[in-house]
Structure 1
Amino acid sequence: MHSDAAPAVRSRTVTEGPTPSAPTWDPQQYLRHAGHRTRPFVDLLARIPDLPTQAPRIADLGCGPGNVTALLADRWSKARITGYDLSREMLERAAEEHAGPTPGGGSLDFRHADIASWLPEEPYDLIVSNAALQWVPSHPGSFAAWINGLRPGGTFAFQIPGNFQAPSHSLLAALCDTPRWRPRLAGLGARYIHLLEPGEYLARLTELGCAVEVWETTYYQMLTGPDPVLDWVKGTALRPVLTALGEDQEAVSDFLLQYRDLLRGAYPPGPRGTVFPFRRVFAIARKEN
Structure 2
Amino acid sequence: MPDRTPTWDPAQYLRHAGHRARPFTDLLARVPDLTGDPPRIADLGCGPGNVTVLLTERWPAALVTGYDNSPEMLDKAVVDHAGRTPGGGRLEFAHADARTWTPAEPHDLIVSNATLQWVPGHADRFADWVAALRPGGTFAFQVPGNFSAPSHRLMRALAGSARWRDRLGDVLRHEDAVLTPGAYLERLTALGCTADVWETTYVHLLPGEDPVLDWVKGTGLRPVLTALADDPGVREDFLAEYRAALRAAYPAGPHGTPFPFRRVFAVARKEA
- TM-score, normalised on structure 1? 0.92
Measured in 1, the distance between the counterparts of 2:231 and 2:176 equals 28
Matched, 1:122 2:112: no
Which residue of structure 1 aligns with residue 141 of structure 2? 158
- Report the residue type matching 2:145 in the other structure: G
Measured in 1, the distance between the counterparts of 2:36 and 2:172 equals 43
| C-alpha contact (below 8 Å) 1:134/1:192 kept by paired residues | no
Please give the residue correspondences for 1:188-199 in structure 2 after superposition, counting only pairs within 5 Å. 188-199=171-182
Distance 1:111 1:73, change over 3 A: same
Matched, 1:77 2:38: no
CA RMSD of aligned residues (A): 0.9
Please give the residue correspondences for 1:76-155 in structure 2 after superposition, counting only pairs within 5 Å. 76-155=59-138
Matched, 1:65 2:45: no
Which residue of structure 2 aligns with residue 38 of structure 1? 21
Please give the residue correspondences for 1:208-287 in structure 2 after superposition, counting only pairs within 5 Å. 208-287=191-270
Q: What is the CA distance between 1:192 and its match in structure 2? A: 4.6
Q: Can you list the C-alpha shifts for 1:57-103, whole angstroms capped at 9, x where unaligned?
A: 00000000000000000000000000000000000000000000001
122-131 vs 186-195, which moves further: 186-195
Q: What is the CA distance between 1:268 and its match in structure 2? A: 0.3
Give the secondary-structure state (helix, strand or coil) at the position aligned to 2:208: coil
Which residue of structure 2 aligns with residue 4 of structure 1? none
| C-alpha contact (below 8 Å) 1:169/1:189 kept by paired residues | no
- TM-score, normalised on structure 2? 0.98
| C-alpha contact (below 8 Å) 2:99/2:119 kept by paired residues | yes
- Report the residue type matching 1:257 in the other structure: A
| C-alpha contact (below 8 Å) 2:118/2:177 kept by paired residues | no
Q: Can you list the C-alpha shifts for 1:88-138, whole angstroms capped at 9, x where unaligned?
A: 000000000000000111100000111110001000000000000000012
Q: Can you list the C-alpha shifts for 1:193-227, whole angstroms capped at 9, x where unaligned?
A: 23100000001100100010000000011001000
Measured in 1, the distance between the counterparts of 2:38 and 2:173 equals 41
State the identity %: 65
Q: Can you list the C-alpha shifts for 1:159-204, whole angstroms capped at 9, x where unaligned?
A: 0000000000000000000111000000323345231000000011
Give the secondary-structure state (helix, strand or coil) at the position aligned to 1:134: helix
Measured in 2, the distance between the counterparts of 1:192 and 1:156 equals 24
Structure 1, gaps ≥5 residues long: 1-18
Corresponding residue pairs, total = 271
Measured in 2, the distance between the counterparts of 1:265 and 1:188 equals 24
Structure 2, gaps ≥5 residues long: none
